[in-house]
Copies of this chain bind each other. A is one copy, B any other.
């Protein structure tokens, strides 16, 4: 099964574009719980409401051995049919990129990952070799600093274009077997619209709603493809820290359900026009 098929199936399974970001921060978790137990409870409570879980490796690496152990165990606990995304944003020269691809896909077993394009094609290509895995290339990230370089206007064959569009153009060109997607932040809705208009078929991983301030209605309207699919909308803190008490899993379930339903209302609007 190709990655594009896996993504469609995952979205249809729970009629959901929601991706829950499992970014552990012990200061926000109920006292005394381990990271894995926290993640497991969140997954068990939300697995019929989402299309994907995204684990940002930074938060696990920052916790040392316990974190790395929780990372592996959490990745394995994600049910079949729901995508596991290792948000690693790796980027290195060919030989080394191959080692990173092995780490994220073979050792950790994720279905998809994020990669940084700055080092060019040979830094992305080893990830693409895993034909049934998804590779989301950073295009326009959700942070304020995104404008420092991603917004620079560059000379291209198609005239002057911002760097993030040049990255998207290259990603489209590299996407020969259909396993590439793009990361585009909900905090830049106009840029999201541009990318979706120019790349109607590329899956988009969209962070930045909720705590970061991205407007959900625009993320959905501009992010989905013509079928109202092709977009994975990530929410981390808003779901997993919906309650910091013992009812955190129930609160997460409720927050995930609310988000799924809100998104589906916006999807209905988008595709009915």
Give the interface of A toward B (CB within 8 A).
23, 56, 58-59, 61-64, 68, 89-94, 96-97, 99-100, 102-104, 107, 116-124, 138, 141-150, 152-156, 160, 163, 166-167, 170
A142 touching B100, Cβ below 8 Å: no
Using Cβ atoms and an 8 Å threshold, which residues of chain B touch A153? 154-155
Q: Contacts A144-B122, A145-B121 given; indicate if A152 touches B138 (C-beta within 8 A).
A: no
Q: What's the nearest-Cβ distance from chain B to residue A261, in Å? A: 27
Q: What's the nearest-Cβ distance from chain B to residue A66, in Å? A: 11
B144 touching A97, Cβ below 8 Å: no
| A117, A150, A152, A170: residue with the most chain B Cβ atoms closer than 10 Å | A152
Cross-interface CB contact of A93 among B104, B143, B149, cutoff 8 Å: B143
B149 touching A163, Cβ below 8 Å: yes
A122 touching B107, Cβ below 8 Å: no
Q: How far is the CA of A58 from the CA of B117 in the complex (A)?
A: 16
> Would you give 6 A-B contacts (Cβ < 8 Å), ordered by A?
A56-B92, A59-B96, A59-B99, A62-B103, A89-B90, A122-B144
B120 touching A118, Cβ below 8 Å: no
Using Cβ atoms and an 8 Å threshold, which residues of chain B touch A154? 152-155, 163
